[in-house]
């Protein structure tokens, strides 16, 4: 029956533009019923990501309303919710955009099989990536484990044009009941940090497009030279939007390619970074254990330290190593962290503090509003040395010399560390506003002494590495 609606199950695809699932659903000519489900898998994400997701849902719901539609909110296991909604509305089937992390894949497989067994149509679509992870293959038909050949393989691959924004979404004759977003309390675990991070978050599809345009117009040209300087606004800051699907990598790819053809200097470097995200998903698909296990088997015996008071000082931005602490505080205040700072903070934890990369991975997952299951896992394993195409373990970043090189005027460190500044600014003070009260931190206290000498930490890490190889 053509008037039976389709349920559109939105997850990390909170946009109207360039949306293959939405376009295919519109082609069916059926009424469309958008739904967002707060299921146990979504409940389980980190505090900051969950808060930011709530903001994204609110913005997306308004965008749908402007097209004569709505976003129905329901809470519970996805399959049960979809089956109940199908019964209530007489829906013909369910459509969604694919996700690739192990928890989502397991859920979606089960949902698809059960819906089909129950006589509903169930289809998943691409959209989160430039290329489906299984589409890119080596000459021997395997998957890539090294970035540069992967880049060489995808740089020439055709990418279809982005799809336009629909003008209207056909509504069902009746709307089913919806939860109220406020009742979901998406920011609850953030406590007082939410109000601080909200000052820096950029939410929704319109904001994503504006960020892309602003970056192309003002910053792309200098990207290759300045992208490593955390004190300079030189990168696109699109990761937050990519995480929730508020913009597609395809839209970014075409914009970057146009700039490349126009000869803009930073364009190729930028496209290569976008492809690091693809590569992360390629690896997550082919080796899902990358999210939780040392990717290289020979790392299983490494003498990582587990969680400890030292790791807690790292989490609190109180190591006494200014570049590391600035990085950790940047994340706490803004919900994101500059890529160079992620490298330094991760290296310090896994090398100088000899701590298992999964301790850091979990804290990033808790605090990042751009948390991405693939890029976070690959980033940590890359720095730790346990991952594919990783930085060798013995290459240990020295945070002091890295600071001299990448933050030569100290602007980044003083922006985030109140104790090192005579007139701390809003970011430095924001850290003390956002930090949990039980941490008992005040900007008036003296900045802590380094918790470990840099040479001592380095020697300890190298000794552990030598023992592993002995």
The footprint of ligand FAD on this chain (CB under 6 A) covers a number of residues equal to: 26
CB of 97 to ligand FAD, least distance (A): 17
Please, which residue, 242 or 359, has the CB nearer to ligand FAD? 242
User: Nearest to ligand FAD by Cβ — which residue?
Assistant: 379
Interacting residues of 222 by C-beta distance below 8 A, sequence separation 6+: 234, 266
Q: Pick the piece of the chain touching ligand FAD (CB under 6 A) from 111-119, 180-188, 291-299, 366-374.
A: 366-374
Residues within window 190-229 making contact with ligand FAD, judged by CB under 6 A: 227
CB of 274 to ligand FAD, least distance (A): 4
Ramachandran angles phi, psi of 390, nearest 5°:
-85, 160
Please report whether residue 315 would count as binding ligand FAD according to CB under 6 A: no
Separation of first and last alpha carbons in the chain? 69
Q: Between vectors from CA 111 to CA 110 and to CA 114, what angle results, nearest 5°?
A: 85
Distance between CA 88 and CA 7 in Å, rounded? 11
Q: Pick the piece of the chain touching ligand FAD (CB under 6 A) from 128-136, 158-166, 274-282, 304-312.
A: 274-282
Distance between CA 147 and CA 125 in Å, rounded? 26
Query: DSSP states of 38-87 as a string?
Result: E-HHHHTS-HHHHHHHHHHHHHHHHHHHHTT---EEEES-HHHHHHHHHH
Q: Pick the piece of the chain touching ligand FAD (CB under 6 A) from 68-76, 171-179, 276-284, 296-304.
A: 276-284
CB of 389 to ligand FAD, least distance (A): 12
Ramachandran angles phi, psi of 186, nearest 5°:
-65, -25
Distance between CA 454 and CA 398 in Å, rounded? 7
Please report whether residue 324 would count as binding ligand FAD according to CB under 6 A: no
Please report whether residue 348 would count as binding ligand FAD according to CB under 6 A: no
Binding mask 380-419 for ligand FAD (x = CB under 6 A): x--x------------------------------------
Please, which residue, 67 or 260, has the CB nearer to ligand FAD? 260
Residues within window 277-296 making contact with ligand FAD, judged by CB under 6 A: 277, 280
Q: Pick the piece of the chain touching ligand FAD (CB under 6 A) from 50-58, 233-241, 326-334, 410-418.
A: 233-241
Binding mask 327-346 for ligand FAD (x = CB under 6 A): ------------x--xx--x
Please, which residue, 89 or 239, has the CB nearer to ligand FAD? 239
Among 232, 274, 362, 429, the residue binding ligand FAD under the rule CB under 6 A is 274
Please report whether residue 122 would count as binding ligand FAD according to CB under 6 A: no
Q: How many CB atoms lie within 10 A of CB 249?
A: 23
Classify each residue of 341-366 as buried b or exposed e, where b means 16 or more C-beta atoms within 10 Å of its C-beta: bbbbbbbbbbbbbbbbbbbbbbbbbb
Nearest residue to 346 (alpha-carbon basis) of 406, 386, 373, 404: 386
Please report whether residue 276 would count as binding ligand FAD according to CB under 6 A: yes
Interacting residues of 242 by C-beta distance below 8 A, sequence separation 6+: 249, 252, 277, 370, 372
CB of 379 to ligand FAD, least distance (A): 2
Query: DSSP states of 266-300 as a string?
Result: THHHHHHHHHHHHHHHHHHHH-GGGGTS-SSGGGT
Q: Which residues contact ligand FAD (rule: CB under 6 A)?
A: 227, 235-239, 242, 273-274, 276-277, 280, 339, 342-343, 346, 364, 368, 370-372, 375-376, 379-380, 383
């Amino acid at each position: 029956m053509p008037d039976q609606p389709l349920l559109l199950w939105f997850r990390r695809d909170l946009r109207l533009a360039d949306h293959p699932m939405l376009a295919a659903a519109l082609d069916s000519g059926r009424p469309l019923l958008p739904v967002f489900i707060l299921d146990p898998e979504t409940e389980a994400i980190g505090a900051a990501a969950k808060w930011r997701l709530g903001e994204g849902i609110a913005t997306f719901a308004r965008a749908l309303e402007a097209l004569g539609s709505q976003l129905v909110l329901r809470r519970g296991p996805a399959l049960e919710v979809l089956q109940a909604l199908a019964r209530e509305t007489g829906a013909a089937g369910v459509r969604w955009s694919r996700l690739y992390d192990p928890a989502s894949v397991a859920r979606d497989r089960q949902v698809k099989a059960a819906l089909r067994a129950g006589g509903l149509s169930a289809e998943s679509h691409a959209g989160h990536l430039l290329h489906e992870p299984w589409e890119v293959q080596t000459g021997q038909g395997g998957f890539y484990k090294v970035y540069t050949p992967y880049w060489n393989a995808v740089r020439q691959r055709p990418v279809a044009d982005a799809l336009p924004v629909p003008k209207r979404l056909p509504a069902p004759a009746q709307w089913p009941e919806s939860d109220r977003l406020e009742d979901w309390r998406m920011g609850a675990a953030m406590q007082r940090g939410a109000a601080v991070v909200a000052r820096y978050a950029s939410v929704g599809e319109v904001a994503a497009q504006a960020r892309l345009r602003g970056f192309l117009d003002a910053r792309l040209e200098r990207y290759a030279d300045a992208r490593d300087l955390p004190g300079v606004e030189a990168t696109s800051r699109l990761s937050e939007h990519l995480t929730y699907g508020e913009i597609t990598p395809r839209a970014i790819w075409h914009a970057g390619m146009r700039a490349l053809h126009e000869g803009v200097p930073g364009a190729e470097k930028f496209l290569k970074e976008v492809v690091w995200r693809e590569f992360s998903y390629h690896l997550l698909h082919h080796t899902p254990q990358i999210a939780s296990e040392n990717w290289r088997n020979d790392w299983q015996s490494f003498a990582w330290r587990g969680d400890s008071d030292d790791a807690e000082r790292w989490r609190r931005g109180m190591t006494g190593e200014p570049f590391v602490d600035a990085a950790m505080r940047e994340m706490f205040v803004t919900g994101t962290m500059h890529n160079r700072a992620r490298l330094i903070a991760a290296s310090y934890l896994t090398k100088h503090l000899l701590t298992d990369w999964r301790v850091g991975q979990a804290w990033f997952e808790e605090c990042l509003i751009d948390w991405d299951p693939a890029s976070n896992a690959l980033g940590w394993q890359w720095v730790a040395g346990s991952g594919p195409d990783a930085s060798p373990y013995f290459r240990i970043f020295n945070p002091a010399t890295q600071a001299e090189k990448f933050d030569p005027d100290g602007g980044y460190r003083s922006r985030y560390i109140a104790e090192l500044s005579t007139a701390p600014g809003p970011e430095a003070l924001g850290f003390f506003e956002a930090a949990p009260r039980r941490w008992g931190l005040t900007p008036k206290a003296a900045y802590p002494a380094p918790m470990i000498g840099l040479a001592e930490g380095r020697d300890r890490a190298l000794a552990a590495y030598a023992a592993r190889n002995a």
